[in-house]
Structure 1
Amino acid sequence: MLRYFVSKLGLALLVALTVSSISFLLVFAAGDPAIAIAGENATAEDVQAVREFYGYDRPLVVQYGSWLWGVLHGDFGVSTYFNQPVSSLIGPRLAVTMTLGFLSIALALAISIPLGVLAAMRPNSALDRIALSIAVFGQAIPNFWMGLLLIMFFSIHLGILPASGTDSWKSFVMPMIVLGTSATPAIMRLTRTGMIEVLGSDYVRTARAKGLPQRKILFKHALRNAVIPVVSLAAVQLGFLLGGSVVVESVFALNGAGYAAWQSISRNDLPTMQALILIFSMFYIFFNLLADVLNAWLDPRLRGN
């Protein structure tokens, strides 16, 4: 197990290094960052002053090395719009985004796994069709549109939930529903497919022939094996929820990292953009690594020799 973990960790670190270089180079893809910071009406002298102040006149390799060294020490630079360290700017906001992401994936798992299991127990039944219809419904509705509907109903019409802000736990209810329902369809379908395959396997038929209780067959033998690919998908979905919270946080005016990403893009705040791109990418890498380790623990065959 240790050897498997070390190999996966080495691969994750290699991917992280590649992602860091891409994150750094993305801000140069649209043109000269000094012009973006100085503004379209800035003079050539102003642009040159900005270039020298932020070190954009240095060789690109030197800039990347300096930026990466700072990142490794928790220094993401200074926000060009808020004029404060990026780490202090996005640090508190990450807590909001991570809280929203974990609540959303918990809701998605609580809905999708039971639905997938029930649908697999009776394939092609009315229950199965209802579960698949829920999946299609959740995948078809855009997040921003569903968010607006929830605001109109729960905030404006009923007045029981706040439409914006992070003042209480109630502020997370509607964003959690929006993000959770967007992650539910894929997990539910994968759970259903995996359970149908496992329930038709030889060892499940043998367990039934031995007279084992249906509950024990379902949860101890079938679900444990069917849930292995679900773990990987849930990890990917969690990374997607954390990185894809930009729209939802903007709709509900949550002061999280997703909303900070939208602000940095609209205000040409390049250091904050770089930091958030890197951080959201690291979320994907970390949760995929965690999923690989959990899958290897659940299924020793994945560890190899």
Structure 2
Amino acid sequence: MLLYMAQRIGLAVCVCLAVSLLAFLLLNASGDVASAIAGEEATPAQMAAIRTELGLDRSWVIRYVEWLGNALRGDFGNSLFFQQPVADLIVYRLPNTLTLAALAALVMLALAVPLGVLAALWPGSIVDRTALAIAVMGQAMPNFWFGLILIVVFSLMLGWAPASGSTTLAHFILPAIALGYYSTPPMMRLIRAGMIEALSSDYIRTARAKGIGTGKVIFKHALRNAVIPVISLLAVQFGNMLGGSVVIETVFGIQGLGYLAWESISRMDLPVVQAILLIVAVFYIALVLLSDMVNSWLDPRIRIQ
């Protein structure tokens, strides 16, 4: 178990370093920060002064090593637009994104688990097709369009929830539904497939032959064994929600990392964008690593392989 954990942690660290390097190179190649700051009417001397002040005249290797070393200490530099430390911006915005992702994950599970179980109990029936249609509809609709529909119906017409903002928990209800419903189909299909496989297993037939009740067979035996691959997908989906909340946070005016990323990209604020990419990637990799550990604990065959 310790060797397996060490291998996974080592791989996670390598992936984090690769992501940080790739993000640094791509963002620095995406445009001239000095010209974005100075404006179109800036003289070459002013552009050169800005490049010297920001250290853009140095080798990218030196700048990357310096940025990574500072990032490991929690120092991501200063925002070019907001004129304050990037770390302070992230500390202020990150709780809103985590809250949105957590609530969206709950919405996803609340939809995917019952739909997946019902579809597996009657495969090929009208119940199965209806469950699949409900789930797939969420992924077929653009999440920004679905978010706008939720605002019009439940906020403007019915007045049940706020349309925008992030000051109270009520502000996260509609965006969590929009983001969670969009992430439901892969989870529902995985639960359905796992349940169908589990229900056709010999131990389920033995449990039924012993007279164990249907509910106990489904939820204690079948669902318990079908949930192992779901843990890995849940980690991936939660990471996708953290990284993919840009559109939802923009539509609902949530002051989170996604909205901060959109603001920073539109203003060429590279220090903020680099920090957000690195933090989201670290969260994503940490979640996958945690799911691997949990799965190896639940199923020893994984770590043996």
Tell me the TM-score range normalised by the shorter chain.
over 0.9
> Shift of residue 4 of structure 1?
1.6
Distance 2:173 2:32 in 1: 42
Provide, for residues 185-225 of structure 1, a one-character-per-residue CA deviation record: whole Å limited to 9, x for no partner.
Answer: 11011100111011112222222223333233222321122
Matched, 1:48 2:48: yes
Given that 1:37 and 1:269 are in contact with CA atoms closer than 8 Å, whether structure 2 keeps it comes out as: no
Given that 1:164 and 1:254 are in contact with CA atoms closer than 8 Å, whether structure 2 keeps it comes out as: yes
Which residue is 1:233 aligned to? 233
Aligned amino acid, residue 196 of structure 1? I
Provide, for residues 87-125 of structure 1, a one-character-per-residue CA deviation record: whole Å limited to 9, x for no partner.
Answer: 001211000000000110011112101210121011122
**Secondary structure of the structure 2 residue equivalent to 1:167:** coil
CA RMSD of aligned residues (A): 1.3
Which residue is 1:5 aligned to? 5
Distance 1:191 1:271 in 2: 40
Given that 1:122 and 1:128 are in contact with CA atoms closer than 8 Å, whether structure 2 keeps it comes out as: yes
Report the more deviating stretch, 198-207 or 34-43. Answer: 34-43
Q: 1:163 to 1:87 in 2, by over 3 A?
A: same
Pairs aligned (count) = 305
Given that 1:27 and 1:274 are in contact with CA atoms closer than 8 Å, whether structure 2 keeps it comes out as: yes
Taking structure 2 as the reference length, the TM-score comes to 0.96
Which residue is 1:246 aligned to? 246
**Secondary structure of the structure 2 residue equivalent to 1:171:** helix
Which residue is 2:154 aligned to? 154
Aligned amino acid, residue 211 of structure 1? G
Distance 1:248 1:41 in 2: 36
Which residue is 2:289 aligned to? 289
Residues 1-305 of structure 1 aligned to structure 2 (within 5 Å)? 1-304=1-304
Aligned amino acid, residue 105 of structure 2? I
Aligned amino acid, residue 48 of structure 2? Q
> Shift of residue 31 of structure 1?
3.5
Distance 2:223 2:302 in 1: 18
Provide, for residues 218-262 of structure 1, a one-character-per-residue CA deviation record: whole Å limited to 9, x for no partner.
Answer: 223211221111111111110001110000000011111100000
Report the more deviating stretch, 205-214 or 181-190. Answer: 205-214
Extract structure 1 runs of 4+ deviating beyond 3 A: none
Unaligned runs of 5+ in 2: none
Unaligned runs of 5+ in 1: none
Distance 1:157 1:212 in 2: 49
> Shift of residue 79 of structure 1?
0.3
- Quote the sequence identity (%): 56
Distance 2:27 2:58 in 1: 15
Given that 1:27 and 1:33 are in contact with CA atoms closer than 8 Å, whether structure 2 keeps it comes out as: no
> Shift of residue 84 of structure 1?
0.6
Aligned amino acid, residue 15 of structure 2? V
Aligned amino acid, residue 264 of structure 1? S
> Shift of residue 76 of structure 1?
0.5
Taking structure 1 as the reference length, the TM-score comes to 0.96
Distance 1:162 1:207 in 2: 49
Aligned amino acid, residue 141 of structure 1? M
